[in-house]
């Protein structure tokens, strides 16, 4: 069966929160794992993928700089975006408005060397990939999901076959990691890649796996800069009623929605605090924090910053203001649908 079999599948994108697909001319909503596995099985295997051996050896004989090695598996996860069932900001229950919030999601999970054992539970977002300028990230990826997914990084340097993106006929093995397969990504961090970044699925089912939890933070540290005393990585995203059996969209931070469920960040006066923020849904957001402000790269000072899907940035300051503070997206309909949290300074 040639590549043209893919003519039968076409993503229509996301409309009104629901993901519509067309297979063989029939439109339907992707609303179950079954649908996704079915859909995935209909995507023709690209020629370069078909020709490749499973888990090809590293394509770069010489790893540049220090090798930072990760073993990461994509796997299903039973997830609760609102484990406390309450919004502490408003002091309200969200049971009536959102309904039950236990969902079947997807996660990148970190394992010990050679996937000997998990290094903790599967979480949304996935593990931090932590590099410094000069390092090379070597990410051994295993797909334990019943659909084809990938890992695609932002910010770092990588050769074309390492970009983890599905590109139709031209796809490389790293852009089409089928169920049960593995692939080793090599991502370099030369001078000029320092920054707060992230990674996410960019496979043939994009954006459904990403909307379901397949993303995580990535940082390339500047060796000339001191490490912060405290830092938090905050992914702004959405769980949609089009994909999950929830009554309304959950505007989430790090897999959780509503204050008290989203990360409760902590610091103490005098700490050098960094917050690394990225956006990874279909919406534009702002990051606002009460009682604090930070300097942008141009030198101006802000306490609120607009960012879109794929954007990432860092807010950093020396902590000088104790108390219980709110941080939130300043888009009011996002704020009141879960996109807020506590920052507690002693």
Site residues (CB under 8 A) for a copy of itself, limited to 252-311 = 259, 281-282, 284-286, 288, 290-291, 293, 296-311
CA distance 145 to 165: 17
Spatial contact of 59 and 44, defined as CB atoms under 8 Å apart? no
CA distance 254 to 236: 7
Q: Strand pairing partners for 323? A: 345
Per-residue mark of binding to a copy of itself, 17-36 (x: CB under 8 A): -----x--x-----------
Helix (H, G, I), strand (E, B) or coil at 32: coil
Residues from 104 through 133 that contact a copy of itself (CB under 8 A):
none
Tell me which of 47, 83, 99, 168 binds a copy of itself, using CB under 8 A.
168
Q: Taking a C-beta distance cutoff of 8 angstroms, is the pair 75, 245 a contact? A: no
Determine the size of the site formed for a copy of itself (CB under 8 A): 91
Least Å distance between CB 73 and a copy of itself? 24
Given 112, 270, 332, 346, the residue binding a copy of itself (CB under 8 A): 332
What are residue 264's DSSP bridge partners?
A: none
| Residues comprising the chain, all counted | 346
Report if residue 84 touches a copy of itself, rule: CB under 8 A: no
Minimum separation from the CB atom of position 42 to a copy of itself (A): 11
State yes or no: residue 157 binds a copy of itself (CB under 8 A): yes
Site string for a copy of itself, 227-256 (x = CB under 8 A): ---------------------x--------
Q: How far is the CB of 208 from a copy of itself (least distance, A)?
A: 10
Cα 307 to Cα 237, 279, 281, 312: the distances in Å are 12, 7, 11, 7
Look-up: residue for tokens 């005393």? 229
């Amino acid at each position: 069966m040639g590549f043209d079999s893919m003519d039968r599948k076409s993503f229509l994108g996301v409309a009104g929160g629901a993901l519509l697909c067309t297979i063989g001319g029939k439109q339907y909503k992707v609303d179950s794992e079954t649908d996704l596995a079915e859909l995935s099985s209909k995507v023709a295997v690209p020629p370069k993928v078909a020709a490749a051996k499973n888990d090809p050896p590293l394509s770069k004989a010489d790893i540049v700089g220090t090798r930072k090695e990760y073993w990461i598996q994509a796997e299903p996860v039973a997830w609760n975006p609102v484990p406390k069932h309450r919004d502490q900001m408003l002091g309200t229950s969200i049971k009536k408005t959102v309904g039950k919030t236990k969902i079947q999601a997807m996660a990148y999970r970190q394992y010990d060397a050679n996937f000997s054992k998990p290094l903790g539970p599967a979480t949304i977002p996935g593990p931090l990939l932590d590099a410094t300028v000069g390092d090379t990230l070597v990410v051994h990826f295993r797909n334990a999901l019943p659909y084809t997914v990938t890992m695609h990084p932002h910010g770092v340097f990588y050769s074309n076959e390492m970009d983890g993106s599905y590109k139709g006929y031209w796809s490389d093995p790293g852009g089409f990691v089928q169920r049960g397969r593995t692939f080793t990504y090599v991502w370099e961090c030369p001078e000029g890649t320092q920054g707060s970044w992230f990674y996410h699925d960019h496979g043939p089912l994009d954006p459904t796996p990403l909307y379901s939890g397949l993303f995580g933070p990535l940082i390339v540290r500047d060796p000339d800069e001191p490490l912060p005393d405290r830092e938090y990585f905050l992914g702004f995203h959405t769980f949609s009623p089009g994909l999950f059996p929830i009554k309304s969209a959950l505007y989430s931070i790090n897999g959780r929605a509503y204050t008290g469920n989203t990360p409760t960040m902590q610091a103490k006066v005098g700490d050098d605090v960094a917050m690394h923020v990225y956006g990874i849904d279909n919406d534009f957001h702002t990051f606002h924090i009460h009682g604090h402000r930070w300097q942008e790269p141009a030198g101006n000072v802000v306490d609120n910053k607009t960012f879109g899907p794929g954007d990432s940035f860092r807010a950093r300051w020396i902590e000088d203001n104790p108390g219980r503070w709110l941080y939130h997206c300043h888009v009011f309909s996002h704020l009141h649908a879960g996109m807020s949290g506590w920052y507690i300074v002693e």
